[in-house]
Structure 1
Amino acid sequence: MSGEIQKVAVIGTGVIGASWSALFLARGLDVIATDPAPGAEARLRDYIATAWPALVALGAVAPGGTPERLSFTAALSGISGADFAQENGPERLPFKQDLYRQLDEILPPEVIIATSSSGLTMTDIQKGCARHPERCLVGHPFNPPHLIPLVELVAGQKTAPQSVCRADEFYTGLGKRTIRLNKEVPGHVANRLQGVLVREIISLVNEGVVSVADADAACSWGPGLRWGVMGPVMLNHLGGGEGGIEHFYAQFAKPLETWWTPLAPLAFTPDVQQRMIEGLRAEVAGRTVQSLAAERDALLLALLKARREREDA
């Protein structure tokens, strides 16, 4: 990362783009952000100001890192001087393809274009990138990217392996934890894992087994605490005691199969959605999205600091 990438273009400054901007600035990079929405610049600067104390507390602000290195342009052509592009546009394939056609014309061929897309494949997106599709890949973060380390790297059919390596080096240099997918699947990996859990929660609520609040509590106060420390397969290994994963599978392979049995066919109909919404509103109990996000970030910050201290030790 050092020397090669000094200015990052952030295309789309909603929640994900704003969070990326905060991280890039904290790591001492120049950021040129673009978003055609009215009031986008003011919202972006407000977000960065709100996020900055957490980055300071985390020790993520490098020498030279400052919000003052942010510039903004409403015109997409204004990002032409960037060394790296992080795209955060709407999850609509025709929109993405047209956007990549424009980015392909604006940015020099050596500039990597990474999408934050949570589900679209790069093979489909880069069809709009006729000149240099080899520099396009998925660099999918998790919300909020300025705190959550994970970035999923996924190549499209026309992505050059060197582009993935360069993106990996860049993200790792920012302090991110990258994983590389060996093949494309809709939703990538982590969202697919989340999706299985969410599907089961919806099914349990719909069948009257548990409330939304208690399902959330079962996750966050049970296995979710462990998942913040180690992955499920490693935890299975520990669950096997001295016999490790082999003993765990010997003991639990059959019970696991019974747990995988769906309760009933599930269609995410408007009625089912409304049941989830009503349950969630009861759990929220009048708290604002802003206050809930602040609570989330404070707890994430504490966990991240604890994990870093342990890794340093």
Structure 2
Amino acid sequence: MAAALAATTSAHAQQQQPQTPPANLPTQAVPQAAATDPGLWRRPALTGDWNGARSRLADNGVTFTINEVVDAAHNFNGGTDSETRAAGQLFLGATIDTAKAWGHPGGKLQVTVINRHGDSLANDAALNLLQPVQTIYGRGEIWRLSQFWYEQTFNGGATALKLGRVTHGEDFGATPCGNMMNLILCGPASSQIVSGYLYNLPVSSWGARLRQRITPNLHLNLGVIESNPVNLDEDRGFYLGTSGATGVIYAGELQWTPKRRCTRLAGHLQGRRLVRHQQLQPHRQ
């Protein structure tokens, strides 16, 4: 039995309303700093406006995200030891609005690198769990290129096509990971069960996603994502090749985000279908 004490520290360099249904990745933000610094506890961004540089960059379509999260947990009973462990994740992202930056409407470029560090309570205390206590532990203590994609919207924003290095969980089976620490409550369950070929943050793969808005509250996502176990290797954090690919994942998901009449709170209902097309290759030693 493990009781987890979560200490989550986030430094957000930006924040804006998402144009897509809720996702589990903090990929965008644009806080407008005040003309005068209101102080550490009142400023919209922890690091301030960088002497006006952040606001000038945002006006020209370039925004940044800096986010550090620490999951600390203690094992009171069970396993082999009564231990305390902390795991962390440093998230560095840059978003370019092509309309502001280059005068090309409807485009967005996202680049994200992530470093994971720290120790796993589940491993060190031999808890023998199906899913780790700390959701941000795993995939190696290295830097990884977790997002490198371009998205173009059409039809007044009703249609959007994304191409590049993506993660499965950012478009399919998205969950609000910022509020949970146990891995089973963060990220698509399908990726947790078949993690050998469906990869979540921070591991990225080549892929494409088409999103179509059917009604204001109903979206259809269709995607194709490469399945390549080479991307899991701890010396391939910035690997952009396709050698070692074992197939592709075809994904389809219908997303409904209704609002309850009594509370006006938004809900999120997803129904998805995943099909794997596997290439028969010799086993990789």
Q: Could you state the TM-score of these two structures normalised by the residue count of structure 1?
A: 0.24
Specify which structure has the higher proportion of helix.
Answer: 1
Structure possessing the higher radius of gyration over alpha carbons: 1
- TM-score scaled by length of structure 2: 0.25
